[in-house]
């Protein structure tokens, strides 16, 4: 009755409030989606604090799981705030979901003339001596191909320090290089022969 006194029609208010409700609904849709995703993460636990995950091309360690978003700390020291919907609606690689183990692959090329069996034994022995390489599954070395300039091998090892796997890989590479150099073998590099042709002068 009071609105009628001021000449305001209820039918027009209904249209206004309806449009306002639709606008608010669309605006809060992403917020509600992230909150629901946060509840899913908290109850189902596919990702936990201190897990090492990979989202797209970003890799880091989960530092906090909130209701609306989570914090991922990268190796470069950046804290990235990721909406929870991105962690439940897309593909996420969790490197430490079941355990802290990770496999490391390292390609190695050795010159032709070296005996493959001795090379495999040498690379495997170097890997087995590394303190952060697991004894089970044991390190394995495979001959993968005969390349243009080298016989190519691949070393595969497991570690339980998934966060620092790249450091272990670097240490293995240095140790294998030293072992190859000490044995008299070499790691070849591609060589190209260039010939310059000159037209004969008349």
Whether residue 51 contacts residue 65, with contact meaning beta carbons closer than 8 Å, is answered with no
- Three-state SS for 16-50 is HHHHHHHHHHHHHHHHHHHHHHHHHHHHHCCCCCC
Mean pLDDT on 59-67:
88
C-alpha–C-alpha distance, residues 89 and 193, integer Å: 53
- In the chain, what is the straight-line distance between the N-terminal and C-terminal CA atoms, in Å? 112
Residue 192 lies in a domain: no
Whether residue 71 contacts residue 128, with contact meaning beta carbons closer than 8 Å, is answered with no
Closest to 53 in 3D by CA, of 66, 36, 70, 37 = 70
> Could you read off the pLDDT of 105-125 as tens digits, one per residue?
999 999 998 899 999 999 999
**Are 94 and 106 part of one and the same domain?**
no
Residue 48 lies in a domain: yes
Whether residue 108 contacts residue 152, with contact meaning beta carbons closer than 8 Å, is answered with yes
**Are 63 and 134 part of one and the same domain?**
no
**Are 49 and 68 part of one and the same domain?**
yes
Q: Which two tokens stand for residue 46?
A: 């596919």
> Could you read off the pLDDT of 131-162 as tens digits, one per residue?
999 999 999 999 999 988 899 999 999 998 88
**Are 38 and 16 part of one and the same domain?**
yes
Lowest-confidence range among 13-22, 75-84, 158-167, 178-187?
Answer: 13-22
pLDDT at 162: 80
Mean pLDDT on 43-62:
87
């Amino acid at each position: 009755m009071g609105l009628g006194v001021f000449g305001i029609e209820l039918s027009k208010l209904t249209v206004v409030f309806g449009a306002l409700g639709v606008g608010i609904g669309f605006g809060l849709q992403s917020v509600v989606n992230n909150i629901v995703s946060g509840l899913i993460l908290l109850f189902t636990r596919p990702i936990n604090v201190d897990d090492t995950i990979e989202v797209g091309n970003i890799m880091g360690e989960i530092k906090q799981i909130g209701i609306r978003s989570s914090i991922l700390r990268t190796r470069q020291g950046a804290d990235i705030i990721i909406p929870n919907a991105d962690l439940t609606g897309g593909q996420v690689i969790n490197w430490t979901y079941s355990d802290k183990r990770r496999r490391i692959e390292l390609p190695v090329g050795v010159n032709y003339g070296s005996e493959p069996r001795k090379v495999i034994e040498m690379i495997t022995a170097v890997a087995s001596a590394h303190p952060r390489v697991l004894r089970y599954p044991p390190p394995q070395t495979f001959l993968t191909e005969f390349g243009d300039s080298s016989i190519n091998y691949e070393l595969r090892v497991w570690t339980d320090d998934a966060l620092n796997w790249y450091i272990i890989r670097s240490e293995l590479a240095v140790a294998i290089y030293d072992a190859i150099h000490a044995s008299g073998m070499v790691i070849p590099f591609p060589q190209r022969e260039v010939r310059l042709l000159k037209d004969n002068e008349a």
